[in-house]
Amino acid sequence: MGEPLMSVSLIMPGDTVPLSDPYEMRQILEHQVDLIIDGGIGGISASTVINLAGGEPEVVRVGCGDPTPFGERA
């Protein structure tokens, strides 16, 4: 991607269930990423995703997290 990515879960290509265990993420990705911060095991609830790359924030997915500051109704 060439840019930092912050995530509490990760869906690997071909998987349908996200990884949420930092130990498992490290086993799979330790030679592919620069840093993994262990914040403990996360849940599997989808997060709200906001695209900030353009001129205006764009709500890509509504999940856990209030999208109303970005113009989306909760």
Give me the residue spans of the domains in the chain. 1-65
pTM value is: 0.48
pLDDT tens readout for residues 39-62? 777 777 777 888 888 888 999 888
User: In terms of Cα–Cα distance, which of 35, 50, 46 is closest to 8?
Assistant: 46
pLDDT tens readout for residues 29-41? 889 888 777 777 7
Residues 6+ apart with CB under 8 A from 49: 59, 60, 61, 63
